[in-house]
Homo-oligomer: A and B are copies of this chain.
């Protein structure tokens, strides 16, 4: 496998860079990929999938390759089938802000449907496979395949849910809490995909995590060490294992850091330190239709 990884790094996407146009790693185009695509999106058809008059192209993306380039025209909407991506936005001073990580089932480049060009980039963190839905055909495909349409809506709904969870994650004031939430969140996502929720292999670097969470990468490293010292995690470079799930989730809820009382292996010690309710407005609740 990996037949030569040749040469000339190229600045932007160069479709010919990967040389041969064959698809040695793509055996699933013969079998109808639609049912697979629908399942990825989280849509389980009760009946057999209708065989549509189109076939969804499958692309492979090498580790380190850019599937989406900022500013480029967007001709496709992608659904990740395998692999992990990081979605980035490069500031004019060169700082690379990570906006999200995409895993199988996630939709990419749909944001570009409401404007002309891509506003975020996407780089594969490992060898990956994506379904590529041409935007010019998408409406027609959705119209002749209600299942595809429904699955896409479902996936978009999930994507919006993820975005909300992301906001909730980043709204934590303490960096420890942010990282704890990220780990739990990632663990849940892995579990939803049938993988282990305790043993995680993070494909992204500390710096990428730090960029996403809005903290220094040294702080991420320190927080990992803190969790390991407390017996919540077992960290070995990018391979981490959750030891004390309830303890980790307890860290999730704290408003401000864990108090540094170094609980002597006390597990779920941390009593939630505050977060006043602030009983907000719910005076009147009313809706009136026509």
Contact = CB atoms under 8 A, between A and B. Distances in A.
Contacts of A160: 110-111, 156, 159-160, 163
A216 B119 CA distance: 31
A167 B163 contact: yes
Interface stretch (A182-190, A220-228, A236-244, A273-281): A273-281
Interface stretch (A45-53, A95-103, A194-202, A262-270): A95-103
Given A65-B285, A114-B161, A119-B164, 20 more contacts: A15-B285, A15-B287, A17-B286, A20-B288, A57-B290, A58-B289, A59-B287, A59-B288, A62-B284, A64-B281, A64-B282, A96-B277, A96-B278, A114-B154, A139-B146, A156-B156, A166-B167, A170-B171, A173-B216, A207-B278
B287 A13 contact: yes
14 contacts: A12-B285, A13-B286, A14-B286, A18-B286, A60-B288, A62-B284, A65-B286, A89-B168, A93-B253, A110-B156, A110-B157, A139-B149, A159-B160, A170-B214
Number of copies: 2
Contact of A284 (B22, B64, B67, B275): B64
A112 to B, nearest CB: 7
A79 interface: no
A259 interface: no
Contacts of A282: 9, 11, 64, 66, 123
Contacts of A170: 167, 170-171, 214
Contacts of A62: 284, 286
Contacts of A153: 113
A34 to B, nearest CB: 14
A275 B18 CA distance: 31
A251 B20 CA distance: 47
Contacts of A65: 283-287
Contact of A167 (B14, B61, B67, B100): B100
